[in-house]
A and B are shown apart, each in its own frame.
Chain A
Amino acid sequence: MYTQALNSSDGDDRGVEDVARASQFQARIDADERIEPNDWMPAAYRKTLTRQISQHAHSEIVGMLPEGNWITRAPSLRRKAALLAKVQDECGHGLYLYAAAETLGTSREELVDAMLSGKAKYSSIFNYPTLTWADIGTIGWLVDGAAIMNQIPLCRCSYGPYARAMIRVCKEESFHQRQGFEIMVTLCRGTAEQKAMAQNALDRWWWPVLMMFGPPDQVSQHSDTSTKWKIKRFSNDELRQKFIDATVPQAEFLGLTIPDPGMKQNENGNWVHSPIDWDEFKQVLAGNGPCNRDRLAARRKAHEEGAWVREAAAAYAEKRKSRQLAQAAE
């Protein structure tokens, strides 16, 4: 999902340092206890979570870019106000998540620098362009819809600060999905040209959205330990299936066609999709998607152009502090 790079291996870092403590830790997890920041935890648990939460945070922040692209061109004041609020929410989500990640001992500055240097990943989905207004509807409907599927189980994640951040995020995400679907309904009830625009957006976003859930279960490398530690409660394929089953009737309602002619319903009522082009996914994760370079360049530019603000705020705080000290000394 927003943390797909977890599925790539970084070598064996899973040596357990203290067998007795690790088994106590596992017992707490098994008893559904929440782990809090100052509790003892295996180094690999800390590392996995730091990566997962920070990648999730980076995804929220980079996720502001494709949608921000349409704020000035929203078709009405109502749509513009809603889109602004949504993009502001994404920023807020990024900040809750950075705060949760920091409780594991890495500073936000380090996490952000890792993203800006290209070392840390963010979700593949945000490397696709938003070509028309219908893309904004589709992102809310499908990208946020997929995110909700993934994030609801994370509200019960074993790590307290992450779970609490996810509860706040999920409450707000529902607005995002509904505003997107409303845009789609309006377009689909509009002129033939508007409906064609909606269909075109669905055609371009469908497969990248399915890839958001990450590689199929048999090749996903981090799932086993994440499941054991109750960070992950459902597998990539399970979540993808849930998402497709929920989305098919919505597309039918809109009168749109899912761009997978081979998709069939099985005897259990689940919709079975055709094979996903995992090469495309790998390429996008490796930095070769349609917008990877743009996205990073935009983040770096914003970070650099904000440097003087951070410096001025720090200088002002310093000045006030020394003035107060001087007054106190008088």
Chain B
Amino acid sequence: MATPNVPLWEVFIRSRNGLAHKHVGSLHAADATLALQAARDIYTRRGEGLSIWVVPSNAITASDPSEKGMMFEPAESKIYRHPTFYDVPDEVGHM
């Protein structure tokens, strides 16, 4: 008999204060408490973190990679959003 599926969680870890939580991987656990404990054992065996978030994988809505052209085009065509687009006379120095 096939083993029944256990929910999937995404794990985010803050490696030190001042840094954002970063995605480190995923794991299976029956509930949030077990997910946190498993995340500690799987992803922080060598002091990699000060704080852990676990999020049910099915709670994440992701953009579609095949539509990334359309999705991100508005930013690509607006080079005037970058400081390097603008000329500052050399005499002005650092700005």
Q: Name A residues whose Cβ lies closer than 8 Å to a Cβ of B.
A: 36, 38-40, 85, 88-89, 92, 95-96, 99, 102, 107-110, 112-113, 164-165, 168, 172, 303, 310, 313-314, 316-317, 320
Contacts and interface: CB of A to CB of B under 8 A. Distances in A.
Nearest to A312: B30
Interface in B38-71: 41-42, 45-46, 62, 64-66
Contact of B31 (A92, A95, A108, A316): A316
Contacts of A107: 5
B43 to A, nearest CB: 8
Interface of B: 2-8, 25-31, 34, 41-42, 45-46, 62, 64-66
B65 A38 contact: yes
Contacts of B66: 38-40
Given A38-B64, A316-B31, A320-B31, A113 B42 contact: no
Contacts of A92: 41-42, 45
Contact of A102 (B4, B8, B31, B65): B8
A38 B41 CA distance: 28
Nearest to B62: A38
Contacts of A172: 45-46
A113 B2 contact: yes
B34 to A, nearest CB: 6
Given A39-B65, A310-B3, A108 B28 contact: yes
A92 to B, nearest CB: 5
Contacts of A320: 31
Q: Which DSSP category, helix, strand, loop or mixed, fits chain B's interface?
A: loop
A96 B11 CA distance: 12
A88 B45 contact: yes
Nearest to B7: A317
Q: Which DSSP category, helix, strand, loop or mixed, fits chain A's interface?
A: helix
Residue among B3, B28, B64, B66 with the most chain A CB within 10 A?
Answer: B3
Contacts of A112: 3
B30 A310 contact: yes
B26 to A, nearest CB: 5
A40 B67 CA distance: 12
Question: Lowest 10 A-B CB distances belong to which pairs?
Answer: A313-B30, A317-B31, A317-B30, A109-B3, A99-B26, A38-B65, A314-B30, A39-B65, A92-B42, A95-B42
A321 to B, nearest CB: 8
A91 to B, nearest CB: 8
Contacts of A95: 27, 42
Contact of A113 (B3, B26, B28): B3
Contact of A96 (B41, B42, B62, B64): B42
A113 B26 CA distance: 20
Contacts of B41: 88, 92
A77 B50 CA distance: 29
A108 B45 CA distance: 22
14 contacts: A38-B64, A39-B66, A40-B66, A85-B45, A95-B27, A95-B42, A96-B25, A102-B26, A109-B2, A303-B3, A310-B30, A314-B4, A316-B30, A317-B7
A286 B42 CA distance: 32
B49 to A, nearest CB: 13
A36 B65 CA distance: 9
A99 B27 contact: yes
A325 to B, nearest CB: 14
A177 B6 CA distance: 34
